[in-house]
A and B are shown apart, each in its own frame.
Chain A
Amino acid sequence: MNEWDKKAFEDAYSQVKAPETLKADTLSKMLEENNKEKPARQVKNIFRYGAWAAALCAAALCFILLRPSGISFITPMEDDVYYDEVELKDGVIHFVKNRVAISISPNAGTVTIGQENQQETDENKDETSKTAEEKITESGGSISFRETDALTLPEIAEENWSYIGEQKIYVTVLKANEVRYQAVFEKDKTAYEMIGINVSQKEFIEELYLRVKE
């Protein structure tokens, strides 16, 4: 840059300054304009964000209503555990993140736990069971859960065992007039049995998950 040119420009322009009256007048006009702009901006924002919100709601509604049956629906299970809707595929229930893998053996027959047998009376059952809880599910079926000291787990090939985390469980389903799910497992030297009658797979597995984790 030519130093002479630069200095000449500095000398010339340093004399040119915006008049104070112009600055004051401009400031008041800016404030006026800002007051005019505010309501217009608010209306514009309402339309802009309103449109986005409406579009998102419509998309969510479409997804819920038109969701093809094959698409998984994520259900919160525990604070950090989420899994796909329980779905039986070749006897295996698939969960996301491989946190839970359950293999259900259809019509494999029930497993007898403890000393009880088929002829056992209800009173005797109560004696062998330390606790027996029963609850009615949303679908109208019932789930019962009980624990016992004695345990005779069946001889089952490894691939037929199911796992919730590290917990080994045996799950069967008997599809007759009533659909009967049974899960047995041993935890801290105690055997547990959970039976679901006419419940959905989702209800049964959710309950089982909670029982194993508790």
Chain B
Amino acid sequence: MNAPEKKYHVEFDKTIERYSDMIYRIAITITGNEEDAKDAFQETFLRLVRSRNKIVSEEHLKAWLIRVVTNCAKTVASSPWNRKTQGLSGEESTREAVCRTGENSLLLELQSLPEKYSVVLYLYYYEGYSVKEIGSLLGKNENSIKTLLSRGRSLLRKELEGGESHE
């Protein structure tokens, strides 16, 4: 490996180490499926290679990654292939995949929520972003984020308390 390749190797490795868990968590929250989450994860980092010259700071990089993984995961989750195969493997495969990452009722219920709620809840409660920051990350206004947070929270509560399904 020559010097420039070594430099890229170190740079990419550092970025993966720093953000891999966050990217994977968002991907699995949206797709609810380990294989799709892996696809979205890889696609996000490959896009980073192509667009890294446009990224100006560490903060920008984090925000960029969140936005891109959200889009990639949504694309993967809504692909025609996924829609066709869902009927065959369906709910079970999602649950199995999540179980592999550890049995956790909150995570399971979060994954069963529509992605618009789960991502906002994740960014707010786990990543610690403010309503304003989430708004700018996802390209929505603050009021929309507040509404999503409020509805997402009540849906999640209902699910956790064994209430009716949102679907």
Chain A residues with a Cβ under 8 A of chain B: 1, 5-6, 8-13, 15-19, 22-23, 25-27, 29-31, 33-34, 37
Contacts and interface: CB of A to CB of B under 8 A. Distances in A.
B34 to A, nearest CB: 9
B41 interface: yes
B55 interface: no
Contact of B12 (A11, A15, A31): A31
A27 B126 contact: no
Given A13-B122, A31-B8, A23 B46 contact: no
Contacts of A16: 21, 24-25, 28, 101-102, 107
B49 A17 contact: no
A33 B49 contact: yes
A30 B126 contact: no
24 contacts: A5-B125, A5-B153, A6-B125, A8-B106, A9-B106, A9-B126, A10-B125, A11-B106, A12-B107, A13-B25, A13-B107, A15-B104, A16-B21, A16-B25, A18-B20, A18-B24, A23-B17, A26-B41, A27-B13, A27-B16, A30-B12, A30-B49, A31-B8, A33-B46
Contacts of A23: 16-17, 20
Would you call the interface of chain B mostly helix, strand, loop, or mixed?
helix
Interface in B1-43: 5, 8-9, 12-13, 16-17, 20-21, 23-25, 28, 38, 41-42
Contacts, number: 85
A9 B101 contact: no
Nearest to B13: A27
A8 B13 CA distance: 30
Contacts of B24: 16-18, 22
Q: Sort chain B's interface into a size bin.
A: 20 to 34
Nearest to B50: A37
A15 B101 contact: yes
A30 B122 CA distance: 27
B110 interface: yes
Contacts of B8: 30-31, 34
B121 interface: yes
Given A12-B106, A18-B41, 5 more contacts: A8-B106, A16-B21, A16-B102, A31-B12, A33-B50
A23 B122 CA distance: 22
A10 B25 CA distance: 12
A5 B126 CA distance: 9
Contacts of B125: 1, 5-6, 8-10
